[in-house]
Amino acid sequence: MESPIVELDLPGWGQAEPHAEWTRAVESGKVLLFPRLAFELEPDERALLREDMLAPGSRNVSLGADGVLKGAGGSAQEQARLAAMVGRFRAQALALVDGLFPEYRGALRVAPTSFRPRRVETRRQSVRADDKRLHVDAFPTRPNYGERILRVFANVNPDGAPRVWRVGADFESVARQFLPRAKPYSRWQAKALQALHVTKSLRSEYDHLMLQLHDLMKRDETYQTQGTQWRAPFPAGSCWVCYSDAAVHAVMSGQYMMEQTLHLPPGREVNPAASPLQILTRLVGRPLVGVEAGAEKLS
C-alpha cells in the first residue's frame, strides 16, 4: 500500500503555494510533511521549553483567540513570553494554511493554539484517552456535524528528538472494518446527554459513529498491533499538516510541540466526497446529520 506520508520541500512559512495534488492528498487523510519548515525560537524562548511550563493538572498550554493563555505554569513574565511565542506560531501556521489552501479562505474557524511540553512516553491515560493508540479524532462533548479538523504541528524539540507517530490505513478501509461493530445511534440518548450537559449540543448520528470508530479502534488490541500502519518520525525542526478526523494516527513519543487546529464546515472541501461525513453517509446509506446541525448554527 502507498505510504500516507507525503514529504514536501518548503523552506518558509509564508512561501507556500497551492498544489491541487497536495489538497487532494490531505483531504483524503494523508499527512503532508515539511521536513525543512522549522518554527524558529527567539533567543530567550528556549528557556520556556521545560515541563513545568505546564500547570499541574493541565494537558496542554493553550492560547485563545482573545489572547488569554490557559494551562501555563512559570512566572508571570515567563507566561507573557510563552503567549508571544504561541501567538507567533499561530500567525505562521495560518499563513501556511492560507498559502496551501486558498479555497478555504473565509470558511475556516480558528481554534485555540497549543504548546505541548509533556513527554509523550510518560503519560498515563485510560485506553479511551490514550493517544498512543491508533485512532481518528472525535469529540465526546462537542458534536461537530461533519466539520473537518485541520491541524498544523511543529516539532520544536531543542535536543533534536523526533515526534514519532504511527499512521494507519485510509479512513474508508478502517470505517468498513469497524462500522459493523458500532452500537446503533439512539436519538433519545443523545437528547439525554444534552439535557445533562454531557454534550454541548445534540449529538448527531455522524458524531456518534465517529466516537464509536475512535473507541473501537483504541480498544482492539489486534488492530493496534497488526493493523496496516506506518512508523512516521517527524524530525525536530519540521512541520506537518493533516485532517485528524480522517488521518488514522497514534502519537508514540516526543516532547515539545506546537499545534494549531482549524475547523472547516462540511461541504467546503475541494472534494467533499473524501470527507468522513460523506464516506460514512455512503456506507450507512442514509443522512447522518439532520436538523440539529442547522439548529446549532442558529444558537
Round to whole Å and give the CA distance between 99 and 93: 10
CB contact at 8 A, 74 and 47: no
298: confidence class by pLDDT, cuts 50, 70, 90: very low
- Return the minimum-mean-pLDDT range out of 111-125, 155-169, 172-186, 266-280: 111-125
| Mean pLDDT of the 275-283 span | 98
- State which residues form the domain around 45: 5-298
Does residue 88 surpass a pLDDT of 60? yes
What residues have CB less than 8 Å from 276, skipping those under 6 apart? 136, 146, 171, 175, 206, 210, 245, 246
pLDDT tens digits for range 91-125: 999 999 999 999 999 999 999 999 999 999 887 78
Main-chain dihedrals φ then ψ at residue 240, nearest 5 degrees: -145, 155
In the chain, how many domains are there?
Answer: 1
The mean pLDDT of the chain is 95
| Mean pLDDT of the 136-150 span | 96
**Which CATH number does the domain housing residue 214 bear?**
2.60.120
* DSSP letters for the chain: ---SEEE-----GGG----HHHHHHHHTT-EEEETT---PPPTTTGGG-SGGGBPTT-S-EEE-TTS-EESB-S-HHHHHHHHHHHHHHHHHHHHHHHHH-GGGTTT-EEEEEEEE-S-GGG----TTT-TTS-B----SS---TT-EEEEEEEE--TT---EEEEEES-HHHHHHHHGGGSPPP-HHHHHHHHHTTSSSSPPPHHHHHHHHHHHHHHH-HHHHHHSSEEEEEE-TT-EEEEETTTS-EEEEE---EEEEEEEE-TT-SS-GGGSHHHHHHHHHTS-S--HHHHHHHH-
Does residue 295 surpass a pLDDT of 60? no
Round to whole Å and give the CA distance between 70 and 55: 9
pLDDT tens digits for range 26-72: 999 999 999 999 999 999 999 999 999 999 989 999 999 899 999 99
